[in-house]
Structure 1
């Protein structure tokens, strides 16, 4: 599913592409018909659009699903560093964790700043890299896609949240050992995340969204 009609041409002819607003229930009903896995990669750098782009589509997908599906959500490395955009991404993460669905949340580093020999994937937890620059870690879009798609069918990746960067070295032959080494999620936030977005201080609408999703699946 894409928002921009021009992006539809980027997909092979064998792919069914739905063009529309990812928070529109009617569009989602068509896009989600019969799916068993959903990968969410939407995002914006504009604070004014943060709730609409970083949060609302995730809520809309979870609301629109008529049967359980595996979720792979991409947010960002540094998501626990308070900013308007990060906070809405973090709220989207919490919705996924509260949904009762199987899921994986991937927080990639800076896109496509890789050197040609940076193929070794490193999965981190706790979101401790807050420089706000490629010094935090880099990753290619192709590597992100590989991890998101692999997570959809990996039992070892279920209920896991992690930061994803690439370093110098060879690509892993198998991602499952990397997933298996991670601590599972046991609360609304990822393992070892900073406790700096108190639920008690959240907007009433966000708390209501969480309550409505708990136990839905």
Structure 2
């Protein structure tokens, strides 16, 4: 594993969720200093004692400016699960990434984004395009990133500890929540994970010991490409709603201007 010594402060988006809390603990184990973005400081303090908390709302970009300040890295584990609004996925899964990127200014943190094993599966009922669209924003930003698409949370047996990383959107299976969290944090610390998008499931076998070797065989995404390296070409930019094309153009302009 190749660790960047200058990477210290990590903003955790979705820190009070199941994966988020595990990612906070994983970051601590690896010597990082997690900072949890939360809406309710008092409630979060009970879930994440001894963790730096910063208040902010993913739907309010202005509230995020102080949260992102000084962050060397960002881990996104947020999700709209439990939100009854019919447009919650757009506002949270997608809008949360858009809003955080919009307030970074000239900062260039390393990013680990958790989406879904079904991000590109239009054939799967209830699969959401909004996670795939959030991935596109991150790629367009030009930031150093890794995108992790985990399978079904905790649908893995106790002896299924071997991580399987695939590309192309055909993977299906389960994985333990702690394995997802560990992979997200390891991706921040491992050079061979940079610029890559992959599906993540678990199989029978032991925990990985060589994280460089685990990430290395994966194909890197093209520079500023919309989709992952082996993603299906079935969501053309030109067919997207005008507001989403505008979001991508805005993220690209922030990247080129450093504004």
Query: TM (normalized to structure 2)?
Result: 0.76
Given candidates 224, 230, 236, the residue that maps to 1:198 is: 236
Contact 1:50/1:84 (8 A) holds in 2: no
Correspondence 1:71-110 to 2 at 5 A: 71-82=111-122, 86-110=128-152
- Unaligned runs of at least 5 residues, structure 1: 130-135
Structure 2 equivalent of residue 132 of structure 1: none
Q: Distance in 2 between matches of 1:205 and 1:21?
A: 21
SS across alignment from 1:161: strand
Contact 2:60/2:99 (8 A) holds in 1: yes
Q: Distance in 2 between matches of 1:138 and 1:175?
A: 20
- Unaligned runs of at least 5 residues, structure 2: 1-36
* Cα drift, residue 44 of structure 1: 2.3
Given candidates 41, 49, 58, the residue that maps to 2:77 is: 41
Q: Distance in 2 between matches of 1:35 and 1:200?
A: 34
Deviations along 1:171-214, one digit per CA (max 9) or x if unpaired, are: 01121111111000012111221112111110111111111111
Q: Distance in 1 between matches of 2:209 and 2:127?
A: 34
Q: Distance in 1 between matches of 2:45 and 2:135?
A: 27
The CA RMSD measured in Å over matched residues stands at 1.7
Q: Distance in 1 between matches of 2:151 and 2:44?
A: 23
Correspondence 1:149-188 to 2 at 5 A: 149-186=185-222, 187-188=225-226
SS across alignment from 1:152: helix
Deviations along 1:113-151, one digit per CA (max 9) or x if unpaired, are: 12111110110000114xxxxxx2111111111011111
